[in-house]
Structure 1
Protein backbone atom coordinates (compact mmCIF):
# COMPACT_ATOMS: atom_id res chain seq x y z
CA UNK A 1 0.00 0.00 0.00
CA UNK A 2 1.22 3.46 -0.86
CA UNK A 3 1.97 5.15 2.45
CA UNK A 4 0.72 8.49 1.11
CA UNK A 5 -2.73 6.89 1.15
CA UNK A 6 -2.76 7.47 4.91
CA UNK A 7 -2.36 11.20 4.41
CA UNK A 8 -5.04 11.29 1.73
CA UNK A 9 -7.38 9.07 3.73
CA UNK A 10 -7.18 11.59 6.59
CA UNK A 11 -7.77 14.52 4.25
CA UNK A 12 -4.18 15.69 4.66
CA UNK A 13 -1.51 16.53 2.13
CA UNK A 14 2.04 15.31 2.66
CA UNK A 15 4.61 18.08 2.25
CA UNK A 16 7.27 17.86 -0.44
CA UNK A 17 9.88 17.30 2.29
CA UNK A 18 7.97 14.29 3.62
CA UNK A 19 7.38 12.89 0.13
CA UNK A 20 11.14 12.88 -0.49
CA UNK A 21 11.59 10.30 2.29
CA UNK A 22 11.37 7.08 0.33
CA UNK A 23 11.95 4.04 2.50
CA UNK A 24 12.20 5.12 6.11
CA UNK A 25 9.32 5.43 8.50
CA UNK A 26 11.31 7.83 10.65
CA UNK A 27 14.39 9.90 9.94
CA UNK A 28 16.66 12.08 11.98
CA UNK A 29 17.02 15.59 10.62
CA UNK A 30 19.06 18.58 11.66
CA UNK A 31 17.48 21.49 13.50
CA UNK A 32 17.92 23.63 10.40
CA UNK A 33 15.71 21.26 8.38
CA UNK A 34 12.73 21.37 10.77
CA UNK A 35 11.26 24.38 8.98
CA UNK A 36 11.42 22.45 5.68
CA UNK A 37 8.95 19.88 6.97
CA UNK A 38 6.14 22.33 6.36
CA UNK A 39 3.52 20.62 8.51
CA UNK A 40 0.35 22.23 9.79
CA UNK A 41 0.58 20.17 13.00
CA UNK A 42 3.50 18.65 14.90
CA UNK A 43 3.53 15.87 17.46
CA UNK A 44 6.56 16.25 19.70
CA UNK A 45 7.96 13.31 21.67
CA UNK A 46 8.64 15.24 24.84
CA UNK A 47 8.38 12.88 27.79
CA UNK A 48 11.31 11.66 29.92
CA UNK A 49 12.92 9.73 27.07
CA UNK A 50 13.22 12.78 24.81
CA UNK A 51 12.87 15.62 27.33
CA UNK A 52 16.29 17.15 26.73
CA UNK A 53 15.94 17.08 22.93
CA UNK A 54 12.38 18.42 23.12
CA UNK A 55 13.50 21.27 25.37
CA UNK A 56 16.28 22.23 22.95
CA UNK A 57 13.88 22.12 20.01
CA UNK A 58 11.07 23.99 21.77
CA UNK A 59 13.37 26.82 22.82
CA UNK A 60 14.95 27.25 19.39
CA UNK A 61 14.06 30.24 17.20
CA UNK A 62 13.46 27.81 14.31
CA UNK A 63 10.74 25.93 16.22
CA UNK A 64 9.21 29.12 17.57
CA UNK A 65 9.03 30.58 14.04
CA UNK A 66 6.86 27.74 12.68
CA UNK A 67 3.29 28.69 11.87
CA UNK A 68 2.03 25.47 13.45
CA UNK A 69 3.75 26.35 16.73
CA UNK A 70 2.47 29.93 16.61
CA UNK A 71 -1.05 28.57 16.04
CA UNK A 72 -0.79 26.11 18.97
CA UNK A 73 -0.71 23.12 16.64
CA UNK A 74 2.25 21.45 18.32
CA UNK A 75 1.37 18.68 20.74
CA UNK A 76 3.48 16.91 23.34
CA UNK A 77 3.02 13.14 23.19
CA UNK A 78 4.30 10.14 25.13
CA UNK A 79 7.14 8.48 23.21
CA UNK A 80 6.55 5.10 24.84
CA UNK A 81 2.98 5.04 23.61
CA UNK A 82 3.68 6.57 20.20
CA UNK A 83 6.78 4.57 19.22
CA UNK A 84 6.98 1.48 21.41
CA UNK A 85 3.48 0.02 21.70
CA UNK A 86 1.82 -1.61 18.71
CA UNK A 87 -1.29 -3.26 20.12
CA UNK A 88 -4.87 -2.26 19.36
CA UNK A 89 -5.33 -0.35 22.62
CA UNK A 90 -2.23 1.79 22.03
CA UNK A 91 -3.15 2.39 18.39
CA UNK A 92 -6.65 3.48 19.40
CA UNK A 93 -5.23 5.90 21.99
CA UNK A 94 -2.91 7.39 19.36
CA UNK A 95 -5.80 7.72 16.90
CA UNK A 96 -7.91 9.40 19.60
CA UNK A 97 -5.09 11.83 20.46
CA UNK A 98 -4.52 12.60 16.79
CA UNK A 99 -8.22 13.13 16.14
CA UNK A 100 -8.51 15.45 19.11
CA UNK A 101 -5.49 17.46 17.91
CA UNK A 102 -6.68 17.71 14.30
CA UNK A 103 -10.44 17.92 14.82
CA UNK A 104 -10.79 19.28 18.34
CA UNK A 105 -12.49 17.56 21.22
CA UNK A 106 -16.14 16.61 20.95
Structure 2
Protein backbone atom coordinates (compact mmCIF):
# COMPACT_ATOMS: atom_id res chain seq x y z
CA UNK A 1 0.00 0.00 0.00
CA UNK A 2 1.59 3.27 -1.10
CA UNK A 3 1.02 6.43 0.85
CA UNK A 4 1.90 9.99 -0.05
CA UNK A 5 4.66 9.95 2.60
CA UNK A 6 6.18 6.76 1.16
CA UNK A 7 6.15 8.22 -2.33
CA UNK A 8 7.79 11.44 -1.09
CA UNK A 9 10.51 9.41 0.67
CA UNK A 10 11.19 7.53 -2.57
CA UNK A 11 11.29 10.74 -4.62
CA UNK A 12 13.67 12.42 -2.16
CA UNK A 13 16.12 9.53 -2.47
CA UNK A 14 15.87 8.58 1.23
CA UNK A 15 14.52 5.17 0.14
CA UNK A 16 15.59 3.00 -2.78
CA UNK A 17 12.70 1.95 -5.05
CA UNK A 18 13.36 -1.79 -4.57
CA UNK A 19 13.78 -1.55 -0.81
CA UNK A 20 11.56 -3.87 1.18
CA UNK A 21 10.28 -2.94 4.63
CA UNK A 22 11.64 -4.77 7.66
CA UNK A 23 9.90 -7.37 9.77
CA UNK A 24 6.68 -6.53 11.54
CA UNK A 25 7.05 -5.48 15.17
CA UNK A 26 4.82 -4.64 18.10
CA UNK A 27 7.58 -2.44 19.53
CA UNK A 28 7.23 1.21 18.57
CA UNK A 29 10.60 2.82 17.85
CA UNK A 30 11.73 5.66 20.12
CA UNK A 31 11.89 8.07 17.18
CA UNK A 32 8.37 7.10 16.04
CA UNK A 33 6.42 9.81 17.85
CA UNK A 34 3.69 10.70 15.33
CA UNK A 35 1.35 9.07 12.84
CA UNK A 36 -0.49 10.33 9.78
CA UNK A 37 -4.11 9.43 9.08
CA UNK A 38 -4.56 7.90 5.62
CA UNK A 39 -8.33 7.47 5.86
CA UNK A 40 -10.16 8.13 2.58
CA UNK A 41 -12.33 11.22 3.12
CA UNK A 42 -13.71 11.92 -0.33
CA UNK A 43 -12.71 12.44 -3.95
CA UNK A 44 -11.17 15.30 -5.90
CA UNK A 45 -12.58 16.76 -9.14
CA UNK A 46 -10.98 13.94 -11.15
CA UNK A 47 -12.63 11.30 -8.98
CA UNK A 48 -9.38 10.30 -7.27
CA UNK A 49 -9.62 9.44 -3.56
CA UNK A 50 -8.44 12.04 -1.05
CA UNK A 51 -6.69 11.08 2.18
CA UNK A 52 -7.26 12.87 5.48
CA UNK A 53 -3.53 13.60 6.00
CA UNK A 54 -3.84 14.85 9.60
CA UNK A 55 -0.76 14.21 11.77
CA UNK A 56 -1.20 13.22 15.42
CA UNK A 57 0.99 12.21 18.36
CA UNK A 58 1.27 8.46 18.96
CA UNK A 59 -0.59 8.92 22.25
CA UNK A 60 -3.70 9.85 20.23
CA UNK A 61 -5.64 6.86 18.86
CA UNK A 62 -8.28 8.90 17.02
CA UNK A 63 -7.75 11.41 14.21
CA UNK A 64 -8.65 14.97 15.25
CA UNK A 65 -9.77 15.86 11.72
CA UNK A 66 -11.89 12.94 10.46
CA UNK A 67 -12.51 11.15 13.81
CA UNK A 68 -11.36 7.76 12.49
CA UNK A 69 -9.34 5.42 14.68
CA UNK A 70 -5.72 4.69 13.72
CA UNK A 71 -5.96 2.05 10.97
CA UNK A 72 -3.77 -0.16 8.83
CA UNK A 73 -1.94 2.08 6.37
CA UNK A 74 -1.26 4.91 8.84
CA UNK A 75 2.20 6.39 8.25
CA UNK A 76 4.83 6.16 11.01
CA UNK A 77 6.56 9.53 11.45
CA UNK A 78 9.31 11.12 13.53
CA UNK A 79 8.82 14.32 15.54
CA UNK A 80 10.00 16.21 12.40
CA UNK A 81 7.42 14.27 10.35
CA UNK A 82 9.98 12.16 8.51
CA UNK A 83 8.51 8.93 7.13
CA UNK A 84 9.67 5.74 8.90
CA UNK A 85 7.19 3.11 7.77
CA UNK A 86 3.55 2.20 8.24
CA UNK A 87 1.01 0.37 10.35
CA UNK A 88 0.80 -3.01 8.63
CA UNK A 89 -1.60 -5.00 10.78
CA UNK A 90 -3.81 -4.81 13.86
CA UNK A 91 -4.58 -8.01 15.76
CA UNK A 92 -7.16 -8.58 18.49
CA UNK A 93 -8.28 -5.01 17.88
CA UNK A 94 -5.43 -3.54 19.95
CA UNK A 95 -2.06 -5.00 18.90
CA UNK A 96 -0.50 -2.69 16.32
CA UNK A 97 2.14 -4.27 14.08
CA UNK A 98 4.42 -1.59 12.60
CA UNK A 99 6.65 -2.09 9.58
CA UNK A 100 9.71 0.16 9.52
CA UNK A 101 12.17 0.57 6.67
CA UNK A 102 15.58 -0.70 7.85
CA UNK A 103 17.34 1.96 5.76
CA UNK A 104 15.80 4.61 8.00
CA UNK A 105 17.71 3.64 11.12
CA UNK A 106 16.65 4.85 14.52
CA UNK A 107 18.82 7.71 15.74
CA UNK A 108 20.96 7.23 18.85
CA UNK A 109 19.74 10.47 20.43
Q: TM-score scaled by structure 2?
A: 0.25
Q: TM-score scaled by structure 1?
A: 0.26
Greater helix content = 1
Greater strand content = 2
